[in-house]
Structure 1
């Protein structure tokens, strides 16, 4: 009846039910009616219900308060929502996450962030957990105001006091902390998720691994990369590229090549940039045999080496004596020379004859 706007009939039915149960009137009946009135955005009729509840001296239960907090928030009556929220907290009644999310969002829409913080502090004193969405809303508001330190402190407080739910999701906040250069906080958030047996998504791992790599914390990045694989999550090609590039910069060229091998074994195709990083580093290390072999593998995937790399290897390998290079490198040199328009001298002499 409420959904169809037939409020007079809904109230008449309520009156009939109240009359039939005059010996024991239950608050549940009023809760149900209030729920549907709020759902149809009709908070005006809710006042009539509240007056009747008061007249009959019925006590609100936690369901009543949660409906009132949530309902008035959705009906854009933030002040009334906060009123019943305050009354609810004073009676030690537990606020549902649904109601909490609604009132927080309503207050933030009204630019009442200070009231949100007061609510959070009140919840903290009672050791009530803050759901993922509420934490996200508070941290995002801090960041939008340029208060990075306050955002970090808030999150550290949540973790230290274990005011986080079992289904905590910090994926979004981990990425935001990375964006603001707080990789330490991002790592703590990721650990908190894992402690609650919640696995971050692959894009979260990707972002943190890439940020740690850029900050030259390559071992930490590799630990996360291994952890990611253990959770059967697939790293992005950008993650592989950044790890390979940084490993080569650190002189850990063989580990960079192993990343290429890992991708190939997994049935994935390494990027040209990955091959290029390792080949360039082998050239720098004057390990031309390794460079030539990897260049061959690179070409098997349809990649063409850049002009500088191509001619550098040709000129270098051509200067080495036969005992300095193995058969594979020698064959590779012949192939490079042939593809570049050069022919062995004996072939030229044979044709001239």
Structure 2
């Protein structure tokens, strides 16, 4: 119809213009417009065996294409090709790709800044994917990500994903999900694991599960980028969506565990539960469940464990033991005990891990007697306590002030060849220091350090506080220098404990020296530190030094304001000092 109208219009103009130059120019323009409609171009591309740049230039005037391209001309051509099934998919897709590049060159000849829209890229990617031209589709998709993703935001922005999925939906019944899976692969190849994860989530929310190869690509990308948190989220998502790991996925997860330094510990835990070594697939899925348990996502991990049981990914005793751990982690003793009893009813033998979980939760809640009963029951069944068992019980004893009992379990632990972890060691040090046994605490730290334990800032902070309570300023300074010697850079919390301990010992000069050390280390003093020193000088009767610190405090930072108590103490000392001085004659 457009061609007929164009011919009719050309004859009319020719008659009115007397066949002159103007009439011929208008007629030519109308013919070009009719010949370059999206329907005409898509029909040509669908039925031409091989469209070349020369053939396209001869068939369609470049000027008309260049003028129409910015207004969705290319989008309309590609959408028309995408919506209709074709007998020969590959030639049509290749013709569409040739037209895509040719039209970009034609548009650039008139406007160098012009480029194809994101929609054009997306439609062509789906068209190429449908024809199984995955290499060409991948190259085009990566170019789209580079061109149409803002540098200031994530490449996997909602607008990009929305445009790509909309192109898939607009392709209608002829569309396939191959292009959607390619999107995850493209992000993975571009070393964007976070964006690959977001693409997986986006597709899963819209009812299109990424393929196993797409999930594996995201896992591999995260492993190479050392984005271990992202890798675990990918593994969790694929397991939740019942896209179960194959050998390649398991190897990737095992590699991540190894690089995190958790592989040996997780494998030993699995062996402790089951009684013998298990395959890497079980170790990988146990590691995922433990990660979710540590995050206290009980309902999610229990649902996941039940699905793993249904698929025989995990053994019964391992899954039930992990469910007990999940309930214990959130302090739900009733549910944990019910799960333990259910294990027994099902003929599953209790293991050291289950008992350790119960000992941990009772120790944390202060029920040390109950924890001891579980330990005795555990030993009577022929199960051996391990390092975590002793650590939880020792920490519970020291929290309740049961120092002698805690030390006895500590001796048993060392005798069995185990060393407490750093958190349990710190609990022991706090308990001993609170009991006035700071020297014994120091000796205990030395003994565990000889066995390989590496102390942290909390360790030294506990000893500093203990020496402050014992009134030993030399011990405080000695611990600080030992801390520095080990390369631990103290922060504001350590300095606050240090200065408070020295003030508690009455050694204010030494405390003020550490205020200067803080400034050299670029650790800003707080109001609490100045209040502590000012109030301590006031209690000693050194009003002059207290006033000097007050002036320094106000001069250093306008945000440093003394507390009401320390300010009023200073005011009272100044008034008292003035009243005691004789008036000038």
TM-score of the superposed pair, with normalisation by structure 1: 0.51
Which of 1 and 2 has greater Rg? Answer: 2
C-alpha separation in 2, matches of 1:101 and 1:41: 19
Give the alignment of 1:1-353 within 5 angstroms: 40-41=308-309, 73-74=321-322, 76=340, 77=343, 80-81=348-349, 100-101=352-353, 104-105=356-357, 112-118=374-380, 130-131=386-387, 133-140=388-395, 148-159=403-414, 161=415, 163-165=417-419, 168-175=420-427, 178-179=430-431, 181-182=434-435, 184=438, 186-235=441-490, 237-283=492-538, 287=542, 289-300=544-555, 301=557, 302-304=560-562, 306-310=567-571, 312-313=573-574, 316=577
Q: Could you give the per-residue CA deviations for residues 180-237 of structure 1, whole angstroms, max 9, x where no partner exists? A: 7355565455334422343223234324432442343444343333322333334454
Structure 2 unmatched ranges of 5 or more: 1-238, 245-276, 287-304, 324-339, 362-370
Q: Could you give the per-residue CA deviations for residues 258-284 of structure 1, whole angstroms, max 9, x where no partner exists? A: 111111111122233333343444455
Call closer, same or farther: CA 1:34–1:43 in 2, change over 3 Å: farther
C-alpha separation in 1, matches of 2:398 and 2:539: 44
Call closer, same or farther: CA 1:117–1:318 in 2, change over 3 Å: same
C-alpha separation in 2, matches of 1:174 and 1:138: 14
Partner of 2:561, secondary structure, is coil
C-alpha separation in 1, matches of 2:528 and 2:481: 21
Q: Could you give the per-residue CA deviations for residues 13-59 of structure 1, whole angstroms, max 9, x where no partner exists? A: xxxxxxxxxxxxxxxxx96599699984379999xxxxxxxxxxxxx
- Structural RMSD (CA): 4.9
- Which residue matches 1:341? none
Call closer, same or farther: CA 1:217–1:175 in 2, change over 3 Å: farther
Call closer, same or farther: CA 1:207–1:313 in 2, change over 3 Å: same
Q: Which has the higher contact order (CA 8 A, sep 6+)?
A: 1
TM-score of the superposed pair, with normalisation by structure 2: 0.34
Instruction: Report the Cα offset of residue 104 of structure 1.
Output: 3.6
C-alpha separation in 2, matches of 1:298 and 1:314: 21
C-alpha separation in 2, matches of 1:213 and 1:170: 22
C-alpha separation in 1, matches of 2:489 and 2:514: 13
Partner of 1:270, secondary structure, is coil
C-alpha separation in 1, matches of 2:524 and 2:551: 15
Call closer, same or farther: CA 1:221–1:158 in 2, change over 3 Å: farther
Call closer, same or farther: CA 1:195–1:42 in 2, change over 3 Å: farther
Structure 1 unmatched ranges of 5 or more: 7-29, 47-66, 86-99, 125-129, 322-353
C-alpha separation in 1, matches of 2:501 and 2:533: 10
Partner of 1:194, secondary structure, is helix
Call closer, same or farther: CA 1:135–1:176 in 2, change over 3 Å: same
Q: Could you give the per-residue CA deviations for residues 320-339 of structure 1, whole angstroms, max 9, x where no partner exists? A: 89xxxxxxxxxxxxxxxxxx
C-alpha separation in 2, matches of 1:227 and 1:206: 12
Call closer, same or farther: CA 1:307–1:177 in 2, change over 3 Å: closer
Stretch deviating more after TM superposition (110-119 or 191-200): 110-119
